[in-house]
Structure 1
Amino acid sequence: MLEQISSVFLEEANELLDNLEEQLLILEETPTEMETIGAVFRAMHTIKGSSAMFGFNAISEFTHEVESAMDQVRNGIVPVTNELIDLMLKARDHIRFMLEAGQEITPEITQTSQTLILAFKTYVATNGGLPSEDAPVSAEPSAPAKPAKPAEPASTYRIKFRPSKKILQNGTRPELLVKELSEMGTATVVAFYDSLPQLSKLNAEECYFSWDVILTTQKSENDIKDVFIFLDPDSSFTVEKVELNPDENHRIGEILIDRNDISKNEIDSVMQEHKQLGQILIEKQLVSNQQIKSALAEQQHFKAINNDNLPSGASSAQSSIRVSSEKLDSLVDLIGELVTFNARLEQLAIEKDLPVLKNLSEQSNRLAVSLRDTSLEIRMLPIGTLFTRFRRTVRDLSEQLGKQVDLVIEGAETELDKTVVDKLNDPLLHLIRNSVDHGIELPVERIAYKKPPKGTVTLSAKHQAGAVVIEIADDGNGLDKEAIRKKGIEKKLISENDNLSDSEIFHLIFQPGFSTAKQVSSISGRGVGMDVVKKDVLSLGGSISIESQPKKGTRFILKIPLTLAIIDGMLTQIGSTKYIIPVNTISECLFFESSGKKSSDSLFPHALVHGKDVPCIDLRKFFKTPEPNSQKKELVTINSQDGLTGIIVDKILGSHQTVIKPLGKLYQNCTGISNSTILGDGSVALILDVYKLADLIISKEAGKK
């Protein structure tokens, strides 16, 4: 049980550290934003308290020093600078390292902790701050360490503060007295300004305000009265302990009676009228608008106190639980088996031709589809959870290289399967590092090219035809086409006589060991990485393309399927072999009709679709199917990024829920095939890589031009 609780702590601490990094990078851009400063402080405060509770004392002691520095930032004593952000990021990384080390704190970890603590103390001292022992950290509710003694029970008080008009002339600031009261516990403050005159008659030396304060605190009544110890004789205040049970929900009438604003008989007499109580009381002039306003504030105060006293999660109608990704993967695997079983049941119902069995099969199919969709929705994550990790990468790299780079994120709300998101981390990381290192120029060079000194790397995502399109774009130098071509000839990847398009030349950078860098750095230049990027993207069933313009920048475009588990497919047949086409890529299905346009290659005919010429690929010829040709061919048109293309098959059989099964290593490099699936009769159908087939068609068309 203890191990399970500790694992929850570690998971939440790592989540806090991820959010902390994001907040620190935001704070670097807006160093005076108090909300962000408060968020950073609360994260450190929570980590400190939680780590102490679970016995991670080294983390708690280290975080306490960091929290002390942030508390002085929060109080406006110490400023936020790049130096402080650097220290906070190092502290964040060190805390994560200590979390991974667990209870095994080595001398090296202790030494690093002491070095960083000294750096924080030095920063605070040199920036006008106080030593940590003289600047106690403000207490905030979170996961605190074990208290030394039980807390005193809290009481609720009504405080009515009526300052005189002349109070300002005595040097007293009444708003500071109200602030001091509110800091003694949980307070609801109601300000009244009914006596405020018109602007032309206003005297700046007179006070026209008064306050009611509902305060729930562990302080005594005498402590509250001490706030007003130096109040002038013309001002007045009352402190009254609330006798109502704060754990109950009280009506406005009960509160007004308890406040002696009205009698019970008067309340009973007006309750017979079918209007809101407050409206009736004001109309009959039994209470003032000010009294109603204060009573409503007290009612809301009790509600807030009640919600705070409820167990965690009880005050909210919406709740959530943590589920490990392994359990979600297991659930999707089981649903995949259920889908396969349902396909066998449907096949059996057709063979036996029994109405009862057909009804059961249809009902089972509806349940399987609903369960599949729900399970896949659970696994969907906004891709922004991945994108935000790269802010730190861009910041650190740009500082290391002496460049100025901004990371712009677009489409962070686009959702993608968690498994896909996890596998995208490495390829995206490498592409972003390349954009910063190879793409963005030094500030001096950018100014010479009449560009702003700060470069921009844009990371965007959007849904398109059942897939997610991710773009990594920079406004840098662009790819050197001639240098890539020369390197390709030097490595004998191409010959001097080859007539290649720009896209084909650019794709040479995905060859293993390919690099045009003149010198090797700690970041890049060894020709390792881009080949792995392409391999990782293809393993996801996706594709990658490049667009680049000299001195304007480079754009890498990744097309990634939404999920790797279960899809809706269109079952087709060529000869005796069955193929699956993902439904979300299909525009329409129809009979093939030749457009009459002649093609030099019979593999790539043209079809007539609603009066338009559509380039196609004949899969029978592409896969060299030996069986006799069918008399009529059918066409499936595909929505690709480059326009409408067609896939010609012998027969379209109908829709099919497809559980994706990966191919073995022997078949992974088969062009036009991405994965496989098991049909209801136990046979195997191949899932077509429609984007790759579309690229072949577009390349053929471009070659003709």
Structure 2
Amino acid sequence: MTQNDRDNSFIAEALPAFISEAHEQIERLEQLLLELEDAPDDRDLLDALFRCAHTVKGSAGIFGLDAVVGFTHHVETLLDHVRAGQVALTPALSTLLLQCNDQMRRLIADAQHPEDEDADAQAHRGALVARLQAACAQPAPARAAQAARAEPDSPATGNARWPVAVRFGGDTFRNGMDPLAILNYLRGMGEITALRCDAAAVPALDRLDPEQCHLGFDFVLDTAQPRESIDAAFSFVRDDCTLDIGAPAGACDGPSVTAAPRTAAHDAPADGTPAQDTPAQHPQAPAAASEAARKPQQRKAADAGHGDDQRFIRVQADRLDAVINLLGELVIASAGASLLARQTRQGALVEANDQISQLVEEIRNGTLQLRMVPIGETFSRFRRVVRDTAAELGKDVQLEIVGGETELDKSVVERIADPLMHLVRNGLDHGLETPEERVANGKPAQGRLVLSACHEAGSILIRIADDGRGIRRQKVLERAWERGLVERGTVPSDAEILQLVFAPGFSTAEQVTNLSGRGVGMDVVRRNIEALRGSVEIASDEGRGSRIEIRLPLTLAIIDGFLVGVGSSKFIFPLDAVVEVIENRQAVQALDARGRGIVELRGQALPVTSLRALYGLDSPAPERTSVVVLQAAGRRYGVLVDSLLGQHQTVIKPLGRMFRSLRGMSGSSILGNGEVALIFDVPALSQLAATPALSPVHAPQRATITTPEGQTP
């Protein structure tokens, strides 16, 4: 393999790491722009915004992505003007920067799958560059003068000549860095003149170690960038070089500095250096690429202003999924070993297996925690959606985010993003009124859209609420009559009318727009949420607003379950949904034909349902049954079971096609003895138990109430 082949191989391996980190920086840049609209003079936000663009540009330069470097350079220049107080950050300028951020996102995506860019895309990018340059040419004089007085070493007009001397350490190549890539990056900031290589430091050819770096350079950088930007260019090699940046020679108002005499055999070329606004040609450096792949999160932490003690490692998602799948098999095998150990009745063996089971549980909790991410990262993406959609609809909307720190499985977050997007856009289009309509109805001109999340009984509850017009039930009912969803003249309950919104192809929009009206969306939303073992409900107060509640499991892999038996069948309830257990000494007979009734619990009527009757299990009822009290959506209900088998680590497996039509089931699990147990969907099961029976079922007077852990409350 040639050196060029090795270089290309390193680039190919490191490029995905750069793409991933660059997308994170672009997401961060967008959020900062939206935050700055409320605080345009916040210096910390402005500095963070500049660092994001600078990081993207610098990393792209290492990989020779000239299109990204060239365009981002113009964005960086404008942000530097804003940061220095030379240009005011107006709403129009924020819109321009958000559009430029979208362009950067497309350029980075194209870097992974390069294709020839069409003329329209080039014209669009050229128009954005022209607008960026025009914005830089319109400074705010008073603020520029103030910035100039505050930073005398960084002239507001003209460039400065920065003398730079750098000597790279012997391990620079071994640590994955290429000094020429850094010089080429500096050329993108301005013009390098008087470049001289320290030829005396290079040993004779017979004593030259090709893996050791002997390079040192002295040059003058003619640029408008401040000292911090020059220093940041060497951030990747700070531990492998000695750097001296002298005082600037002043604004460039004359000819360039004449290059000092140098030896051509060792000097890097100074001719043909591109101007400040022209991207340089960057060599593909395998060492630099390796460094970009090795320390992406360290650079991110540094750019965010965090301490050096934070360490990160980036792991591919499929590798983590494979570990969790193996962990599931380990949980099943551990349960089987524990069962066999108890059957042997050997105390030492049982104790050893209990210790192993405890360690497996700790490993399970720690591994699943690796996939838990705050849902606030997903919520924050909707700031841009609300901003742009509200502007398109001519509405004034304030987005509030509550409970963004609530964590759930990353796989759930990824799959819930699209349904949430549709619900947010639907609320903006159908729910919230225009400022004129709101004022006419006695409301504030600005509407409110609230995204909130919290943990509830082992699941996560997501709410999308607005203070808009609400759902007009009569209009929904009339449209249902027209489509034949409800027999004309029939008036269902309010709850049933609201559920019609989720019917396939249902829409109340008067005309088709690019946001709604085609009857595609809400049925897909419900189907996608139910595929995650979740549920969605709608509540609405006409004229005052609507609220959509989504309940999702925290994880799709492994949960703590409560194992019960009905005849020869085994079932599992999510442990977090189990409130308590009522143990009866005789079978309960007074149930209706569908196996539903009411039991009295501490003076309150508790609806119950029999699993034997509900699922048609062909087994005789025992003399002794128990009622497992569950809670879902703020309601409590009971389930009649034959036996209580205790807490069980549950590995969730998908249901086969034959069982997917079963109501109240969300998955299956394999027990330690090889049997299969079905996992209940507690919210769906609560709907089956919600309708009260004709005759109540009373618990015996001497009922024993225990928690799932066996403790009497």
Structure 2 match to 1:59: 68
Q: Does the residue aligned with 2:663 lie in a helix, a strand or coil?
A: coil
Task: Give the whole-Å Cα distance in 2 for the aligned partners of 1:697 and 1:593.
Answer: 23
Q: Does the residue aligned with 1:437 lie in a helix, a strand or coil?
A: helix
State the Cα distance separating 1:679 from its structure 2 match.
1.0
Letter in 2 for 1:4: E
Answer whether contact 1:569 1:656 (CA < 8 A) is retained: yes
Task: Give the whole-Å Cα distance in 2 for the aligned partners of 1:629 and 1:80.
Answer: 74
Aligned runs of 1:121-200 on 2, under 5 Å? 121-126=133-138, 146-147=185-186
State the Cα distance separating 1:119 from its structure 2 match.
1.3
Structure 2 match to 1:16: 25
Answer whether contact 2:580 2:628 (CA < 8 A) is retained: yes
Task: Give the whole-Å Cα distance in 1 for the aligned partners of 2:687 and 2:160.
Answer: 61
Structure 2 match to 1:297: none
Deviations 1:488-530 (A, max 9, x none): 2222222246553211110111111011111111111111110
Structure 2 match to 1:290: none
Structure 2 match to 1:83: 92
Answer whether contact 1:594 1:607 (CA < 8 A) is retained: no
State the TM-score, normalizing by the size of structure 1.
0.74
Structure 2 match to 1:441: 433
Residues 1:29 and 2:38 are matched in the alignment: yes
Task: Give the whole-Å Cα distance in 2 for the aligned partners of 1:315 and 1:41.
Answer: 19
State the Cα distance separating 1:349 from its structure 2 match.
1.9
Deviations 1:386-414 (A, max 9, x none): 10011111111011111111110000000
Structure 2 match to 1:371: 363
Matched residues, percent identical? Answer: 37
Q: Decide whether aligned partners of structure 1 residues 48 and 505 sit closer, same or farther in structure 2, where only a CA change above 3 A counts.
A: same
Letter in 2 for 1:121: Q
Deviations 1:430-461 (A, max 9, x none): 10010000000011101100111111110000
Answer whether contact 1:414 1:461 (CA < 8 A) is retained: yes
Task: Give the whole-Å Cα distance in 1 for the aligned partners of 2:591 and 2:490.
Answer: 23
Aligned runs of 1:195-344 on 2, under 5 Å? 218=244, 316-344=308-336
Structure 1 match to 2:558: 566
Q: Decide whether aligned partners of structure 1 residues 521 and 594 sit closer, same or farther in structure 2, where only a CA change above 3 A counts.
A: farther
Q: Does the residue aligned with 2:37 lie in a helix, a strand or coil?
A: helix
Residues 1:71 and 2:97 are matched in the alignment: no
State the Cα distance separating 1:590 from its structure 2 match.
2.2
State the Cα distance separating 1:44 from its structure 2 match.
1.2
Deviations 1:334-392 (A, max 9, x none): 10010011111122223333334323321221111011000011111011011001111
Structure 2 match to 1:159: none
Letter in 1 for 2:135: Y
Task: Give the whole-Å Cα distance in 2 for the aligned partners of 1:218 and 1:447.
Answer: 63
Task: Give the whole-Å Cα distance in 1 for the aligned partners of 2:612 and 2:503.
Answer: 31
State the Cα distance separating 1:135 from its structure 2 match.
5.8
Q: Decide whether aligned partners of structure 1 residues 491 and 644 sit closer, same or farther in structure 2, where only a CA change above 3 A counts.
A: same
Structure 2 match to 1:178: none
Answer whether contact 2:594 2:614 (CA < 8 A) is retained: no
Task: Give the whole-Å Cα distance in 2 for the aligned partners of 1:138 and 1:377.
Answer: 51
Instruction: Select 2:671's aligned residue among 671, 679, 687.
Output: 679
Task: Give the whole-Å Cα distance in 2 for the aligned partners of 1:57 and 1:224.
Answer: 28
Q: Decide whether aligned partners of structure 1 residues 528 and 594 sit closer, same or farther in structure 2, where only a CA change above 3 A counts.
A: farther
Q: Does the residue aligned with 1:571 lie in a helix, a strand or coil?
A: strand
Q: Does the residue aligned with 1:645 lie in a helix, a strand or coil?
A: strand
State the TM-score, normalizing by the size of structure 2.
0.73
Q: Does the residue aligned with 2:555 lie in a helix, a strand or coil?
A: coil
Residues 1:654 and 2:646 are matched in the alignment: yes
Moved more, 477-486 or 663-672: 663-672
Residues 1:360 and 2:352 are matched in the alignment: yes
Q: Decide whether aligned partners of structure 1 residues 514 and 650 sit closer, same or farther in structure 2, where only a CA change above 3 A counts.
A: same
Moved more, 366-375 or 95-104: 95-104
Instruction: Select 2:377's aligned residue among 372, 385, 407.
Output: 385
State the Cα distance separating 1:588 from its structure 2 match.
1.0
Q: Decide whether aligned partners of structure 1 residues 185 and 343 sit closer, same or farther in structure 2, where only a CA change above 3 A counts.
A: closer
Answer whether contact 1:661 1:675 (CA < 8 A) is retained: yes
Letter in 2 for 1:35: D
Structure 2 match to 1:512: 504
Structure 2 match to 1:275: none
Q: Decide whether aligned partners of structure 1 residues 517 and 327 sit closer, same or farther in structure 2, where only a CA change above 3 A counts.
A: same
Letter in 1 for 2:74: E
Answer whether contact 1:594 1:606 (CA < 8 A) is retained: no
Q: Does the residue aligned with 2:13 lie in a helix, a strand or coil?
A: helix
Structure 1 unaligned residues grouped into runs of 5+: 153-180, 187-215, 227-306
Q: Decide whether aligned partners of structure 1 residues 592 and 441 sit closer, same or farther in structure 2, where only a CA change above 3 A counts.
A: farther
State the Cα distance separating 1:134 from its structure 2 match.
5.9
Task: Give the whole-Å Cα distance in 2 for the aligned partners of 1:450 and 1:344.
Answer: 66
Aligned runs of 1:614-629 on 2, under 5 Å? 614-629=606-621
Task: Give the whole-Å Cα distance in 2 for the aligned partners of 1:657 and 1:421.
Answer: 23
Instruction: Select 1:119's aligned residue among 105, 111, 131.
Output: 131
Instruction: Select 2:420's aligned residue among 409, 419, 428.
Output: 428
Task: Give the whole-Å Cα distance in 1 for the aligned partners of 2:88 and 2:631.
Answer: 54
Residues 1:46 and 2:38 are matched in the alignment: no
Residues 1:409 and 2:401 are matched in the alignment: yes
Q: Does the residue aligned with 1:29 lie in a helix, a strand or coil?
A: coil
Instruction: Select 2:110's aligned residue among 101, 113, 135.
Output: 101
Letter in 1 for 2:117: T
Task: Give the whole-Å Cα distance in 2 for the aligned partners of 1:46 and 1:654.
Answer: 54
Letter in 2 for 1:472: I
Answer whether contact 1:466 1:562 (CA < 8 A) is retained: yes
Structure 1 match to 2:518: 526
Q: Decide whether aligned partners of structure 1 residues 525 and 314 sit closer, same or farther in structure 2, where only a CA change above 3 A counts.
A: closer
Answer whether contact 2:375 2:408 (CA < 8 A) is retained: yes
Answer whether contact 2:559 2:651 (CA < 8 A) is retained: yes
Structure 2 match to 1:249: none
Q: Does the residue aligned with 1:59 lie in a helix, a strand or coil?
A: helix
Task: Give the whole-Å Cα distance in 1 for the aligned partners of 2:467 and 2:586.
Answer: 44
Q: Decide whether aligned partners of structure 1 residues 416 and 8 sit closer, same or farther in structure 2, where only a CA change above 3 A counts.
A: same
Q: Does the residue aligned with 2:690 lie in a helix, a strand or coil?
A: helix
Structure 1 match to 2:658: 666
Structure 1 match to 2:683: 691
Q: Which has the larger radius of gyration?
A: 1
Structure 1 match to 2:573: 581
Q: Does the residue aligned with 2:519 lie in a helix, a strand or coil?
A: coil
Moved more, 11-20 or 341-350: 341-350
Structure 2 match to 1:472: 464
C-alpha RMSD of matched pairs (Å): 3.4
Answer whether contact 1:71 1:138 (CA < 8 A) is retained: no
Task: Give the whole-Å Cα distance in 1 for the aligned partners of 2:228 and 2:486.
Answer: 75
State the Cα distance separating 1:39 from its structure 2 match.
1.6
Q: Decide whether aligned partners of structure 1 residues 34 and 609 sit closer, same or farther in structure 2, where only a CA change above 3 A counts.
A: same
State the Cα distance separating 1:602 from its structure 2 match.
5.5
Task: Give the whole-Å Cα distance in 1 for the aligned partners of 2:89 and 2:227.
Answer: 28
Moved more, 408-417 or 35-44: 35-44
Q: Does the residue aligned with 2:596 lie in a helix, a strand or coil?
A: coil
Residues 1:607 and 2:616 are matched in the alignment: no
- Which is bigger in relative contact order (C-alpha 8 A, separation at least 6)? 2
Answer whether contact 1:23 1:36 (CA < 8 A) is retained: yes
Residues 1:488 and 2:500 are matched in the alignment: no
Task: Give the whole-Å Cα distance in 2 for the aligned partners of 1:424 and 1:534.
Answer: 11
State the Cα distance separating 1:597 from its structure 2 match.
13
State the Cα distance separating 1:318 from its structure 2 match.
3.5
Deviations 1:164-219 (A, max 9, x none): xxxxxxxxxxxxxxxxx999999xxxxxxxxxxxxxxxxxxxxxxxxxxxxx9936
Moved more, 32-41 or 371-380: 32-41
Letter in 1 for 2:132: F
Letter in 2 for 1:120: L
Answer whether contact 1:67 1:137 (CA < 8 A) is retained: no
State the Cα distance separating 1:113 from its structure 2 match.
2.0
Q: Decide whether aligned partners of structure 1 residues 661 and 628 sit closer, same or farther in structure 2, where only a CA change above 3 A counts.
A: same
Task: Give the whole-Å Cα distance in 2 for the aligned partners of 1:671 and 1:345.
Answer: 33
Q: Decide whether aligned partners of structure 1 residues 642 and 696 sit closer, same or farther in structure 2, where only a CA change above 3 A counts.
A: farther
Answer whether contact 2:586 2:623 (CA < 8 A) is retained: no
